[in-house]
Chains A and B, each alone.
Chain A
Amino acid sequence: MRPDPTAISSLLSSAGVDAEVEGTTLGTVFRVALVDALAALIVLREGGHDFRMLADMLGTDTGDGIEITYHLRSFSRDEEVYVKTSLAYDGELPSVWTAFPSALMPEREIAELLGLTLAGHPNPRRLFTTDGIDPLLRKRVPIRTLEEVRDR
């Protein structure tokens, strides 16, 4: 399940991507710069490790910015890796849908719920909520507004 980190690191560096390897409770995590994220995902898919599925994608408000986690799965080698990248609160998230179409809706969800803008997305509109709703998954957005607390 856990791949050999050195093999993946050399694969990533062959594509000119600097990656920091972390072995955490999550699994094997590669931390890359935002500009390298798409290149890293493409080389993981096309390189020998055959990561054909972007199984999951999420964004986290870390307090300093937004951290994006890509969860990739390879069926031929039965391996899973996580690629993490970070951007500022007002940052622009480059879409990876050209490499993995399964990112189309999760990217829209992340953009609306964490208050980011999407770059290169074919349909960069909101997915779930209507215009004007605060980015709900930001830590600064309260779960209830003051009016709702008063009326309870």
Chain B
Amino acid sequence: MTDPRDIVSGVGMLSEGTHFVGEPPAGIRRVPTGVDGLSTEHLVINMGPQHPSTHGVLRLLIEVDGEEVVAVEVTLGYLHRGIEKLAEHRRYDQLGTLMDRGDYVSGMHGEQAVALAVERLMEIEIPRKAAWIRTMVAELTRIASHLVWFGTFGLDTGAMGQFLYAMRDREAAVEILEAISGARMMFNYIRPGGVVDDLPAGIDQKILAFCDGFETYLDEHHALLGGNEIFQGRVRGIGVIDRDTALAFALTGPNLRASGLGFDLRRDRPYDAYPELEFDIPVGTTGDSWDRYMVRMEEMRQANRMVRQCIEGMPDGDFKAKVPRVLRPPEGEIYAATESSRGETGVHIVSDGSDTPYRFHYRSGSLHAMQALEEILPGHLLADVVMIVGSTDVMLGEVDR
């Protein structure tokens, strides 16, 4: 077993001589001093927070030796809204709105996590139809979210064409979600006890038409970007996160599965309608950027498959359980997690029996991916930094919370 201390070498600390840190700890890479005094000087480059390829407001301080990255430190907090504190002043049915604004590209998964936590604490049994609707909208959101990643990841590697095609398909998925929930991104659709409203009449045909189209579009997307030799040259074998590193930094979701560990909450901690659906879990081998690309592309195909199964097997019945108007879970503590597009989106609630949570903790997959970045980026070329950050699909709204 690898000792995690061997994995962490620099821990994101910049080396001596830069004014960003005080005293660097032992073991950190230092500026080499040449025998003749003609050594290359290290340069610290600031990237962000307003850099177009940082997917939000991420600031990276990159120390380079020529073109090679020596150390990276991420600076966070530009999107810190204090969701955990705000949640302590919201009723349980209002928490979903905060989770929407955490990971704002795949809001349904956060809402689902809150709903599951409250239901488990209050021992609410939700109707079968509610579980199926939730599963369907969650998978549709996964497609919409992965398409954003697909489009922008191509941009990070220098490709352009796939972005507009990805946005075309995302638009179709988001329009369906809008017809169901009334909003394009801040859904507030999944609530403790079920969902807000039944599916609108005639939406099944629209969704099935989307699924039919998306199956062939996905092949086209993959051929357009994945079949491109330049793209393959940029991503294959670069940004490797091996299994030990992934475990040490608690990566989850597609990033963990690309490293070869097939852990998926939908199968291993089943919730809602997933036990009744058929789906495969793609797992990578080496954990390089190409594997992360392939895992996400296959996840979209499986999500499409699940959406179709949900529509075809949608049970009859109520779309919500009978729950009290003001939710007052009993005193206790609960952790519930969903498999979001970016990993494990978990909600840890400490309840004191009142109508607001005593402590609300939001566990996000992106924060842990962000820590791993500080470890894996050193040793790569500066031009690959943007690509590797893109391949881990970090969402800054979820990092800062």
Question: Do they bind each other?
Answer: yes
Residue positions of A touching B, CB distance < 8 A: 1, 24-27, 46, 52-56, 58, 60-61, 69, 71, 75, 78, 97-102, 104-106, 113, 122-123, 126-130, 136-137, 143
Provide a sorted-by-A list of 16 A–B residue pairs whose CB atoms are within 8 angstroms. Answer: A24-B333, A25-B332, A25-B334, A26-B332, A55-B363, A56-B250, A58-B361, A71-B348, A98-B5, A100-B4, A100-B248, A101-B4, A101-B249, A101-B371, A102-B250, A129-B80
**Selected contact of B263 from candidates A60, A75, A123, A126, CB within 8 Å:** A75
A102 CA / B5 CA spacing, docked (Å): 12
Chain B contacts for A136, CB-based, 8 A: 82, 85
**Could you tell me if B89 and A143 are in contact, using CB atoms closer than 8 angstroms?**
yes
Provide the main secondary structure of the chain B interface.
Answer: mixed
**Selected contact of B269 from candidates A1, A69, A98, CB within 8 Å:** A1
Chain B contacts for A75, CB-based, 8 A: 247, 261, 263
| With A1-B269, A101-B4: A128-B76 Cβ-Cβ less than 8 Å | yes
**Could you tell me if B333 and A26 are in contact, using CB atoms closer than 8 angstroms?**
yes
Interface residues on B, range: 35 or more
The residues in B between 66 and 86 inclusive whose CB is less than 8 angstroms from any CB of A are: 73, 76-77, 80, 82, 84-86
Chain B contacts for A97, CB-based, 8 A: 8, 11
**Could you tell me if B11 and A25 are in contact, using CB atoms closer than 8 angstroms?**
no
**Could you tell me if B82 and A105 are in contact, using CB atoms closer than 8 angstroms?**
no
**Could you tell me if B335 and A26 are in contact, using CB atoms closer than 8 angstroms?**
yes
Q: Beta-carbon contacts of B169-205 to A below 8 Å, as 1s and 0s?
A: 0000000000000000000000000000000000000
| With A25-B121, A128-B76: A101-B375 Cβ-Cβ less than 8 Å | yes
Provide the main secondary structure of the chain A interface.
Answer: loop
**Selected contact of A52 from candidates B121, B247, B359, B375, CB within 8 Å:** B247
Q: Known pairs A25-B332, A55-B344, A123-B11; list 15 more (Cβ under 8 Å).
A: A1-B269, A26-B334, A55-B346, A55-B363, A56-B250, A101-B7, A101-B8, A101-B11, A101-B375, A102-B371, A106-B367, A123-B13, A128-B76, A128-B77, A137-B359
| With A26-B334, A102-B250, A105-B367: A127-B77 Cβ-Cβ less than 8 Å | yes
Chain B contacts for A113, CB-based, 8 A: 84
Chain A contacts for B335, CB-based, 8 A: 26-27, 56, 71
| With A55-B344, A129-B77: A98-B333 Cβ-Cβ less than 8 Å | no
